[in-house]
Chains A and B, each alone.
Chain A
Amino acid sequence: MAAIAHAERLPARSWVARFTKSEALTGYGLISPAVFLMLVLLAYPFILAVYISLTDRVLGEPGKFIWLGNFIKLLQDSLFRQTVWNSFVYTVTTVFFKMLLGIILALLLNQEIPCRNLIRGAILLPWIVPTSLSVLTWLWMFDSLFSVVNYILLGIGLISKKIPWLGDPFWAMVSVIIVNTWRGLPFFAVSFLAGLMTIPKELYEAAETDGAMRFRQFWHITLPLLQPVIAVVVLFSTIWTFADFQIVYILTHGGPINATQIFATMAYDVALVAGRIGEGSAISLFLFPALLVVIILMLRYLRQD
């Protein structure tokens, strides 16, 4: 308000001065670069994705309009249906494990422990390092002949014969789930830790004088107060896991026999390896309903706060 009153009193020196003194104009000026980039490189490609998915475009040819042809074809395709199933298994399992282990890890990190910052840093590392490079290390750790994971498990007697980590459909899915959990756990744990630190200590002290057990304290105080953070983190992770690409691409490339094929890797193979761009775009767009659900839930959740 002060600024506006000030501007009215003085004769405007130039249009620049008037521009910078007007709140609305300044606002539009400040957001315009971001708006421009987002329109050209996000909104336009999205509309283009919808358009391309309605055509039978292949690499090098524009293709013709076939309405929902690609979507109908995909829904009848057993490989695509397997991809849908795999994506759900991958997302539900990893998000569940990341949430469960994340809560446990956050509770541990919230204790009085020596070298606290060092340990927190170590825990965060899988999330910081380039995923493509750390997943390469996992690929080497799961190597059919030289797997160090088998070496250790055999060594301590947990298994009696080698596990075919990436060579078997079931174990390949287990492998990608382990690696995704490994990579995503730090984000869950640190976010939950931040949530834990905001819970007032007095609540626990009061509970202790009432003689409440540790588990009941967790169930009646910690969990309800942590719930908003858990909800937001789970929603974030759900959409990013559903749309994940690089872990599967590097570790199994969707194999063996498509056992780990998920939306993004299939879209890449169909559009950019096989060159069927229309069909590939349609596969990518199957991620959109999931995104929409997450957006709606997230907005509803944030509005409640």
Chain B
Amino acid sequence: MRRKRLRTLQRIVGVYLPLAAFVCFALFPFYWMLISSFKANPELYNLKANRLWIANPTLDQFRDVFAKTAILQWLWNSFFVSFLTSFISMTFGVMAGYALARLRFPGAQTFGLATFITYLVPTTLIFIPLASVVQKLGLSNSIWSLVVTYPTFLIPFCTWMLIAYFKSIPKDMEECAMIDGCSRIGAMVRIVLPMAIPGVIFSAMFSFTLSWNEFVYALTFISDTTHKTMSVAVPTELIRGDAYFWGELMAASLIGSVPVALLYSFFMDYFVSGLTAGALKG
């Protein structure tokens, strides 16, 4: 009996307490974002109040954000860019990933190596010359500059994720299909792709998240308010000079965070399995 109690105590001190500390560390900023956005200014800036709770919840900050800023436009821009770029990257990633996983051709290894290296290249290494390339293409200050450039870091990611998935699918099935008169592409689309759905969903979702969160390119290529995406618009448009309207900033940040958080809570299982698969193979 005493032994059992000792074990429980050991678990509380050794597992639950440290885990609770980690969870608090991870979640506190979101809690603070949440309660700051539901407070009116007098309460938000009242140092004497209990700052960790809301006495009078209000939607004032949200109303102000929607009334004063182009937030709906920014949300739409983010959706448009993220959806389109993840679709494009997914398509090209499926093609390249299938080629690398299944086909033997001279240069395949070099290409595989190149995609892997590309995956490591940080955006801050080339953002300055890329700005002039974007300008030459006539795309500066337009969300198309993002649609064109985001696939450069999304395709390598999708390709690598999908190679692993495609390789795990037995070759026999598509060979049977091809003997039955199916073309290589037909076998890929009809047999292999449906079996790789978890990988496809994970890659598409993660590409969406990466696009939604991207900051450096969006900050560099776009200066017009109406063409900005959420991740850049909130920190640049809502801070006017030295004035920080924290209630509005937190409300807008919350609005910008919810879509990806929701997306990921729906596909949590795919996400964790995909991430762990990627981590092991990466």
Interface residues, chain A, with chain B CB atoms under 8 Å away: 2-3, 6, 17, 20-21, 23-24, 26-28, 30-31, 33-35, 37-38, 40-42, 44-46, 48-49, 52, 101, 104-105, 108-109, 111, 113, 117, 119-126, 128-134, 136-138, 140-141, 143, 145-146, 148, 151-152, 182, 185-186, 190-191, 193-195, 197-198, 229, 232-233, 236, 239-240, 242-246, 250, 263-264, 267-268, 271-272, 277, 280-281, 284-285, 287-288, 291, 294-295, 298-299
Contact = CB atoms under 8 A, between A and B. Distances in A.
B35 to A, nearest CB: 10
Contact of B253 (A108, A128, A136, A299): A136
A23 B128 contact: no
Contact of A132 (B93, B125, B231): B231
Contacts of B122: 239-240, 242-243, 264, 287, 291
Interface stretch (B54-62, B64-72, B112-120, B193-201): B112-120
A24 B105 contact: yes
Contact of A284 (B106, B124, B155): B124
Given A2-B179, A134-B253, A136-B235, A271 B215 contact: no
B98 A30 contact: yes
Interface residues of B, number: 96
B275 A287 contact: no
A137 B35 CA distance: 11
Contact of A131 (B130, B133, B215): B215
B208 to A, nearest CB: 11
Nearest to A114: B16
Contact of A38 (B32, B114, B261): B114
Closest 8 CB pairs of A and B: A243-B122, A194-B276, A27-B105, A48-B129, A191-B279, A264-B124, A30-B99, A133-B253
Contact of A108 (B15, B25, B128): B15
B275 A194 contact: yes
7 contacts: A24-B104, A125-B27, A129-B257, A134-B257, A137-B32, A137-B250, A190-B272
B76 interface: no
A129 B23 contact: no
Interface in B115-153: 115, 117-118, 120-133, 148-149, 151-152
A272 to B, nearest CB: 7
A103 to B, nearest CB: 12
Interface of B: 15-16, 18-19, 22-23, 25-27, 29-30, 32-33, 36, 45, 47, 51-52, 92-93, 95-96, 98-100, 103-108, 111, 113-115, 117-118, 120-133, 148-149, 151-152, 155-156, 159, 175, 178-179, 183-185, 209, 212-213, 215-216, 220, 230-232, 234-235, 244, 246, 249-250, 252-253, 256-257, 260-261, 264-265, 268, 271-272, 275-277, 279-280, 282
- Judged by DSSP, the binding face of A is helix
Nearest to B276: A194
Given A125-B30, A132-B235, A195 B279 contact: yes
A140 B28 CA distance: 13
B279 A233 contact: yes
Nearest to B22: A105
A27 B99 contact: yes
Contacts of B114: 38
B215 A108 contact: no
A145 B45 CA distance: 9
B45 A146 contact: yes
A284 B16 CA distance: 44
A38 B130 contact: no
A236 B275 CA distance: 14
B128 A280 contact: yes
Contact of A34 (B36, B115, B127): B115
A131 B213 contact: yes
A167 to B, nearest CB: 14
Given A49-B128, A140-B36, A121 B103 contact: no
A42 B126 contact: yes
Contacts of B271: 124
B155 to A, nearest CB: 5
A113 B15 contact: yes
Contact of A111 (B15, B106, B129): B15
A267 B128 contact: yes
Interface centre among B122, B183, B272, B275 (most CB of A within 10 A): B122
A299 B282 CA distance: 11
Contacts of B215: 130-132, 245-246
A300 B64 CA distance: 55
B260 A108 contact: no
B120 A42 contact: no
Contacts of B265: 121
Contacts of B113: 299
A243 B257 contact: no
A40 B175 CA distance: 36
A46 B126 contact: yes
